[in-house]
Structure formats: structure tokens, C-alpha cells
């Protein structure tokens, strides 16, 4: 069967191979300016593939990264090119009925999560340091080589980066689930009205039938993510602006029976439900501080209460009884999320289980301290732009995807041990100093300043008291 012809901006595959050699493979002289001229000429013929366009933007940033250029302009150029590179990859992959987390899309595209973090920092926070931007640009070149340029010979120049992300879901199933969930909502609204009037509930049989029918649909569906998004975004997390936070207790009781039934009878339902709600609370928190309002804060609290309710079901064994490690997975994900609400959820779960406390207490404490320090550094950098590598979101810039939960937890514990060792060292130096003063021994000002320079984890000022011979003098007099 003949394939449909595809219009390209290059005349033949040889032209694309030549451009590839100019960008990546020419060691005799710097042929990148010539490559940029060819790409600009191609752009007049039609739309360039995202890989070629991103390669051109990043290459131009590298060529303009010279000592004669303003550092701020170089950082802005790198930041813009990286943001366009990430957005151009992830935005077309947004095939879901609702917005999917950028981290999930990046994982499907085999794009390291650090690219998403750098893009977020460059868009919503202070610009990352120049060294970080240069490293990210180099890694972007490597990613583009592996996923596009190295494949053009085998594909004839037509390369679909990231593979097929769109999963087929029957539209009839979606409509059917929406109708059943609406019926469930109506039944519980009617039941609550009956309870207020003192009447007995008569909808138990209807609820059982709806539970069984929804469980069958979830089992038959090729992809439950869209069905979970419908359940979460159109029903569980629906909160009116004039509603009271006490309504969360009515909402959880209204949906408890259905959630417990699906969690026990549908494989992967409970873990998918947690993932969907955790993504929802992180998306709310990712909103710019200037654009957040009182309703957004209430929405975060409302979403957190749902997560706490689900964790309580897990601890009681009423949800996902066939997945004993789900609670550990949720706590690990919350600790590594760098989100204050997720860390609060991890603390709640740890407080309910002695086993979780022994495994994750130190890591949770370390993550909370790191989040506090990072937020303070970001605030300081935003008010006074300084050249420091400490204001970047704490991410790993290795060549992997930075999503190994066990490895990051081990890193947290190692950092906590280092901090404890330093605290003991500071305490020892302080006790030595106090014992020296108590025994009447004289301490030189230089030694005193040295011993106090890191007292209480802060660098002390190097001042000394003036002697009795000091007298005030006019400015400029020796």
C-alpha cells in the first residue's frame, strides 16, 4: 500500500543529511552559521519540524554566548530557547480530555524531568544561572540527536519524536461513564435530602447496580486515565465558590461506597485515582502567586482533604487490598514532589503508621527543610538578582530522567546525616568555647571569631570591641 506523500521544506534527504553534518559532525571548521542560514531559508518555504527549529534556536544561543554579550541577555536567550523546546514537545502530546501533568508527558517522551523544572523556573521564577542553562542546552542537543537527527537516514527524514502518545478510548464508554456518574450524584443528593427529613434510604439497590456497571466499564477500558479524570475533575473535586469547607465530609461520604468498590474490584484504580488527584493539587499550586486568590487556596485545601480521606481508607485496608505497597508509593511520591500540600499528606500518613514513620520520617523532614530553604532563596533572588547557583529548583541534572524514587530518598537521608554531623560539630566547638571562658582562659579575637563563625549554623560578623584609647574623629581623618 502506497503511503501518502508528505511535503517537506528540504528538496531531498541529501539536503537534510548535509544540514545534519553542518550542525553536529563538521570538525574542520565552525559550520554552524552556515547551517543557520540554510534553516532560515527553509523557514520561508513552510513550517519547520520542531526538532530542526529547536536545534536552530539553541545553536544561535551558543553562538551568541560570548564575553562581549551581556550575561542577562545570554541567560534570557537560553531560557527562551529551552522553554520553546520543552513546550513544543509537550503541548502537542496533550491529548487528554483534561490537562495532564507536564512531568507525566515528559516521562512518556523520555525527556528528563529536569527540563520541566528548568522551564518552570525560567517562566515563573528568577532566571536560572548561566552554568545551569549551558548544561541544559548541551543536554537538549544530545536529546535531539538521539530522538531526531540520528534517525533521519532510516526514516527518510520524517521522524515522529516520542512515538504515539495518544491512547484509543471508546467515546461511547466515556459518555456512558459520564451518565452513570451523574446518576450516582443524583442518587446521593436525593438520599441526603431523605436523611434530613428523617426518611429511610431506598437507593441501596440502585447504588449496587451502578457500582457493578462502572466496575465492568473500567475493566473493559483500554485506558482508565480519561475515565479517572472525568470522575475526579467533574465530580470529586467540584467545589462551588460559595461552598463551605465542611461540604468535603458530605462529599467523601457520598462517594465512599463507589470508590471502595472500584478500588477492590478494578486493578490499578486506586493508584490511578491517587495519581490524578496528586497531579490536580500540584497544578493548582503551580499557578503564579500573583494570579492566586482565596478560592484557589480553598481549592487546594479541598483537594488535600480528599487525599487525606483516601489515605485513611488505605490505612484501614478498605481500598486497594490487592496492592499492599500502594501506601508506600504514595508517601514516596509526596516526599519527592516538592509540594507543601503533598508533604503535609506524607506527614499525615507517617503519623498514622509506625512502619511508615521508621521508613520515611527522616526523608520527609529533610524534604520539608529543603522546600523551605528553596522558597526563601527564590524570594531573595527575585527581589535582588544575584549570580548564585542556589536559586534553581533542586533537581538532578544527570542524564537520566530523575524519577528514581528510592535513589532520591537515599539522597535525602544522606543529606540529613551530613546536617546532623555538622550540627554535632558546631555543638562541640561551642562547648569548647564555653569551657574556655568558664575557666578564665583568654581567647584571642581571631580564634574567637573563627570558633563563632559558624555558630548556630550562621556566619557571625567579624567585629571586635574598641579599646579605651579610641576617640571619635571627623570623616576622612586618620
CA-nearest of 122, 119, 149, 131 to 19 is 149
Per-residue pLDDT, 408: 66
Per the CB < 8 A criterion, the answer to whether 326 and 271 are in contact is: yes
Per-position b or e across 341-354, b if 16+ CB within 10 A of its CB: bbbebbbbbbebbe
Domain boundaries defined on the chain: 13-155
The residue to which cell 544561535 is assigned: 60
Other C-beta atoms closer than 10 Å to the C-beta of 464 total 9
Per-residue pLDDT, 403: 44
Dist. CA 252–CA 360, nearest whole Å: 27
Residues 6+ apart with CB under 8 A from 101: 279, 282, 283
Higher pLDDT, 290 or 84: 84
pLDDT in tens, 139-184: 999 999 988 888 887 655 556 565 444 444 466 777 888 889 989 9
- C-alpha radius of gyration, the chain, whole number: 29
Per-residue pLDDT, 244: 58
Per-residue pLDDT, 379: 53
Q: Mean per-residue pLDDT for 344-355? A: 89
pLDDT value at 35 more than 80: yes
Of 92-101, 314-323, 409-418, minimum mean pLDDT range: 92-101
Q: Mean per-residue pLDDT for 401-429? A: 71
CA-nearest of 98, 118, 415 to 230 is 98
pLDDT value at 446 more than 50: no
**What DSSP character marks residue 232?**
I
Q: Mean per-residue pLDDT for 223-231? A: 81
Residues in the chain: 478
Higher pLDDT, 183 or 439: 183
Dist. CA 229–CA 246, nearest whole Å: 24
Dist. CA 188–CA 255, nearest whole Å: 8
Q: Is the dihedral of CA 5, 144, 104, 296 positive or negative?
A: negative
- The band of 81, judged by pLDDT with boundaries at 50, 70 and 90, is very high
pLDDT in tens, 256-278: 999 999 988 888 888 889 988 88
Other C-beta atoms closer than 10 Å to the C-beta of 194 total 14
Higher pLDDT, 396 or 359: 359
Of 94-98, 175-179, 274-278, 364-368, minimum mean pLDDT range: 94-98
C-alpha cell of residue 136: 541544559
Dist. CA 351–CA 315, nearest whole Å: 11
Concatenate the DSSP letters of all residues of 116-153 into one string.
Answer: HHHHHHHHHSSPPPHHHHHHHHHHHHHHHHHHTGGGHH
pLDDT value at 232 more than 80: yes
Residues 6+ apart with CB under 8 A from 236: 251, 255, 277, 306
Higher pLDDT, 44 or 385: 44
Per-residue pLDDT, 454: 46
Amino acid at each position: 500500500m502506497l503511503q501518502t506523500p508528505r511535503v517537506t521544506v528540504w528538496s531531498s534527504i541529501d539536503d537534510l543529511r548535509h544540514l545534519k553534518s553542518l550542525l553536529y559532525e563538521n570538525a574542520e571548521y565552525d559550520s554552524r552559521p552556515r547551517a543557520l542560514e540554510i534553516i532560515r531559508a527553509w523557514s520561508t518555504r513552510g513550517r519547520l519540524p520542531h526538532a530542526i527549529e529547536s536545534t536552530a534556536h539553541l545553536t544561535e544561543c551558543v553562538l551568541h554566548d560570548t564575553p562581549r554579550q551581556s550575561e542577562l541577555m545570554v541567560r534570557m536567550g537560553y531560557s527562551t530557547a529551552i522553554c520553546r523546546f520543552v513546550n513544543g514537545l509537550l503541548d502537542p502530546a496533550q491529548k487528554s480530555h483534561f490537562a495532564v501533568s507536564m512531568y507525566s508527558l515528559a516521562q512518556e517522551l523520555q525527556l528528563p524531568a529536569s527540563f520541566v523544572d528548568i522551564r518552570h523556573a525560567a517562566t515563573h521564577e528568577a532566571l536560572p544561572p548561566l552554568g545551569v542553562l549551558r548544561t541544559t542546552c548541551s543536554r537538549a542537543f544530545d536529546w535531539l540527536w538521539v530522538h531526531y537527527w540520528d534517525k533521519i537516514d532510516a526514516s527518510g527524514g520524517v521522524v515522529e519524536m516520542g512515538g504515539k502518545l495518544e491512547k484509543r478510548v471508546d467515546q461511547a464508554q466515556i459518555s456512558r461513564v459520564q451518565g452513570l456518574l451523574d446518576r450516582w450524584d443524583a442518587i446521593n443528593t436525593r438520599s441526603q435530602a431523605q436523611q434530613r427529613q428523617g426518611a429511610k434510604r431506598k437507593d441501596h439497590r440502585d447504588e449496587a447496580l451502578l457500582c457493578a456497571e462502572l466496575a465492568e466499564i473500567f475493566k473493559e477500558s483500554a485506558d482508565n486515565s480519561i475515565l479517572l479524570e472525568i470522575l475526579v475533575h467533574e465530580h470529586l473535586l467540584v467545589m462551588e465558590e460559595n461552598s463551605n469547607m465542611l461540604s468535603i465530609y458530605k462529599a467523601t461520604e457520598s462517594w465512599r461506597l463507589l470508590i471502595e468498590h472500584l478500588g477492590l474490584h478494578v486493578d490499578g484504580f486506586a493508584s490511578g485515582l491517587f495519581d490524578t488527584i496528586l497531579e490536580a493539587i500540584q497544578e493548582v499550586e503551580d499557578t503564579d502567586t500573583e494570579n492566586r486568590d482565596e478560592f484557589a487556596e480553598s481549592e487546594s485545601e479541598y483537594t488535600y482533604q480528599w487525599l487525606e480521606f483516601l489515605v485513611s481508607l488505605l490505612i484501614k485496608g478498605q481500598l486497594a487490598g490487592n496492592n499492599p505497597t500502594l501506601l508506600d508509593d504514595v508517601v514516596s511520591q509526596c516526599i519527592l514532589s516538592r509540594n507543601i500540600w503533598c508533604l503535609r499528606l506524607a506527614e499525615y500518613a507517617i503519623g498514622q503508621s509506625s512502619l511508615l514513620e521508621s521508613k520515611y520520617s527522616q526523608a520527609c523532614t529533610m524534604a520539608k527543610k529543603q522546600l523551605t530553604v528553596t522558597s526563601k532563596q527564590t524570594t531573595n533572588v527575585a527581589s535582588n538578582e544575584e549570580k548564585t547557583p542556589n536559586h534553581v529548583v533542586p533537581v538532578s541534572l544527570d542524564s537520566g530522567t530523575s524519577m528514581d524514587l528510592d535513589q532520591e530518598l537515599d539522597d535525602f537521608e544522606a543529606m540529613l546525616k551530613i546536617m546532623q554531623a555538622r550540627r554535632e560539630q558546631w555543638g562541640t566547638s561551642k562547648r569548647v568555647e564555653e569551657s574556655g571562658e568558664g575557666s578564665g582562659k583568654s581567647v584571642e579575637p581571631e580564634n574567637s571569631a573563627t570558633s563563632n563563625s559558624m555558630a548556630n549554623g550562621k556566619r557571625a560578623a567579624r567585629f571586635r570591641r574598641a579599646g579605651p584609647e579610641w576617640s571619635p574623629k571627623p570623616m576622612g581623618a586618620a
